[in-house]
Each structure stands twice: as C-alpha cells, then as structure tokens.
Amino acid sequence: MATEAAYIRRLDHYSTAQLIQAAEKLLAEYGSATHPDMFDALPEAAARLEEPIREALRPVFPTEGLFILRGLEIDDSDLGPTPAHWSSVGNAGALWDVTLLLITTLLGRPIAWEGQQDGRAVNNIVPSPGHELEQTGASSTVLLSPHTEDAFHPERAHLLVLCCIRNHDRVGTTAASIRRTGLSPEDVALLSRPVLPILPDDAYKKLPDFSGEPVPVRTLWESPDGLTLRFDPAYTPLEQADDDHREAYARLEAELARVSMSVALEPGDVMIVDNDLVVHGRVPFRPRYDGTDRWLKRALVSIPGRDSRPESERDEHGYGQSAIKL
C-alpha cells in the first residue's frame, strides 16, 4: 500500500470547528442522534458546510480505495466508559454520531439496516463478552477476516465510514485493495463466475419467515473503472466449490493478505473505505471489559447513480434483510 501521506487528508481547525458546531446545533435541536426528524434536516445542515470540508471529503479514491480524515479531536474524559455491548450505548458519543451523519451526507446517502443494531444509522463497534470468537464487530481475540461490508446483500453500501472514538491499545484496522493484487487473468475469470453464495453474517437478526435459497454470486468482476470484488470468506461455503475454484479463491486471499495494510486509528480519525474495492478487518486483541476498550462508530453510504455492480444483483433476495435509505 502507499505511504501514510498518500491517504491522509487533514481538516484545518476552522473546518473542524464548523463541522462540530453544525453537529452540536442538530443535537441541541433534536435531542438525540436517532430522532427521525433530524435525518430530514441533515441535507440542509450539510449544504451549509464550507468548501474545505467538501474538498476533504470528495469521494475520489486512489488505487488504495480509502482515505483517512484527520483533524477531529475527541476528549476521552468526556466519553464515559466503552459500552460492553452496542445495545447499552444509549446516547453515549451522540455528538460523534451526528458528526458522522453529516460526513456521510456529504459523501452520498446514509443507509441503515432494519436487522442490525435496531436499525440505527450509526452502529457502535465494541468488544462484547461472549462474542470474542465470532466473525462480527463484537469479536476481539480472533482475527476479523478481511471482508466486504454486508457482502451478502445486493444493496450493500458503496462506502464504509469508521470513526475512532477510543483505541488505547492501538488495535489495527486492516485494509486491502483488489487493485493492488496480482491475480492471473485465469483466476480473475474463474472467480468472476457466480459459483458460491455469501450468507448473512451473525450480526443480523435471523428472519424466521424467510425461506429463499442461497444465491451464488460473483467474487470478482470488471466495473467501468476497474476490477471490483465482493468477498467474505467467513460466510462463504467454500466446501461446495470444486478444487479449481477453491484454489483460485485461496490465491485471492493470499494476494489480499500480501497487499494488506494495518492502521491503528487514533481518536477522531474517520476512515472512508470504498466497499467495492477494499476489504477490511481487524487484528486480534485481548479486551479488558473495564470501560477502556477499543470503540468505533460505523456508518454506511450509498452513492446514487454509481454503476459498479453486475445487473444480475438486482434479482437477489438479500435473505429478506432490508436496507433503509435515509
């Protein structure tokens, strides 16, 4: 991957203050980051933000497929303890929820999921007791495998936005771009065939009334601006594929590992990831559950009119899970 300077974008103090003041005004008016009327007010509030903020958030990505916005400052003493579970967050860090929603509104259109974290537009990523070994954001002691966010669904976000609230242990967030890999044309062709499904991850509420069969999807394809991927090995039943497909998939995994970077996000860092180019994950760490563990906030962005996915995805059922476009 490129040097740090290639993917860091810095907000000046004036722009940072303007962004925070806009978030404070919305929070004061609506009282909560989850108030439904606040979402209607977001576009107008975002439109008042000045050009330096817009320029810093212009969603033009280099080959790396990500950038980190730096300049926001989070005072750890004002946060309260890291919650033990997303459901106990309440309004903790609500100012940063609203700040993140303003950022996502400038990038595109915020989306949420009915079946994840009660449909909240900003999700909280915290280690939770009993979930240490899962392949979800609540895990900790296991490697969170590199993956496309919500890879199972045809309406998955175009952009993933992660805001670091607390990271005392400098736990690394990993990222790898498909356009940095060196796969052979033969492997690209093989993995461009819809052979295996990607199943919903364990962070979603199961829908007991859904009876559809898993749908095979493409792992790779050529979009108008280059090679693109849809990848989640932890929820892909590779044992159902033939040897050639499994071997090509293993070479893709190895290539993504080869070009992977690990970033220890600092409080206030906002990482914007192109979900069509980059898989992300997290290195293992040992949680303390004492209120000081790693805490990220996550938001998702759809870019209206973006043409980056096969037409065949329009026919997928998404396992009954519904995206909410805010």
Burial of 211 (0-12, 13-18, 19+ CB in 10 A): exposed
Q: How far is CA 153 from the centre of its chain?
A: 14
Question: Right CATH number for 4-325 from 3.60.130.10, 1.10.3720.10, 3.40.1280.10, 3.10.450.50?
Answer: 3.60.130.10
Q: pLDDT digits over 48-73, tens only?
A: 999 999 999 987 777 789 999 999 99
Mean pLDDT confidence for 37-41? 94
Give yes or no for residue 208 having a pLDDT over 80. no
Q: Which residues of 238-272 are buried (b: 16+ CB within 10 A; e: fewer)?
A: eeebeeebeebbebbbebbeebbbebebebbbbbb
Give the pairing of strands 159-166 and 278-282: unpaired
> What's the rounded mean pLDDT across residues 179-196?
97
Positions of E strands within 26-105: 66-70
| pLDDT score recorded for residue 197 | 97
Query: What φ, ψ does residue 105 adopt, rounded to 5°?
Result: -65, -35
Q: Domain spans of the chain?
A: 4-325
Q: Does residue 325 surpass a pLDDT of 70?
A: yes
Confidence tier at 206 by pLDDT (50, 70, 90): confident
* Residue 191 clears pLDDT 60, i.e. is over it: yes
Query: Which segment of 16-25, 286-295, 316-325 scores lowest on mean pLDDT?
Result: 316-325
| Statement: residue 2 has pLDDT above 60 | no
Predicted confidence at residue 54, as pLDDT, reads: 93
> Which residues are CB-contacts of 83 (< 8 A; sequence separation ≥ 6)?
89, 92, 124, 126, 295
Nearest to 33 by CA among 80, 85, 90: 90
Contact 203, 251 (CB under 8 A): no
Determine the pLDDT at residue 131.
87
Residue-level pLDDT at 63: 79
- pLDDT at residue number 317: 94
What is the three-class DSSP state of 1?
Answer: coil
Q: Which amino acid is at 22?
A: A
Cβ(66)–Cβ(274) below 8 Å:
yes
Mean pLDDT of the 85-100 span: 93
Q: State the pLDDT confidence band at 249, using cuts at 50, 70 and 90.
A: very high
Task: Say which residues have a Cβ less than 8 Å from residue 117's Cβ, sequence separation at least 6.
Answer: 86, 87, 123, 124, 203
Cα–Cα distance for residue pair 220/232, rounded to 1 Å: 12
pTM: 0.95
* Residue 5: per-residue pLDDT: 60
**Contact yes or no for 83/92 (Cβ under 8 A):** yes
pLDDT digits (tens, 9 = 90+) for 256-302: 999 999 999 999 999 999 999 999 999 999 999 999 999 999 999 99
**Where does the pLDDT of residue 309 fall: very low under 50, low under 70, confident under 90, or very high at 90 and above?**
very high
pLDDT of 3 above 60 = no
Mean pLDDT of 160-178: 97
CA distance 214 to 236: 10
Look at residues 56, 52, 70, 62 and name the one whose alpha carbon lies nearest to residue 3. 62
**Quick one: average pLDDT of 70-99?**
92
Whole-number percent of the chain with pLDDT over 70: 98
Query: What is the helix, strand, coil percentage profile of the chain, to 5?
Result: 30, 20, 50
The model's confidence at residue 4, banded by pLDDT at 50, 70 and 90, is low
Mean pLDDT over each residue of the chain, to the nearest integer: 93
Q: What percent of the chain has pLDDT over 90?
A: 84
What do you get for the CA distance between the two ends of the chain, in Å?
Answer: 34
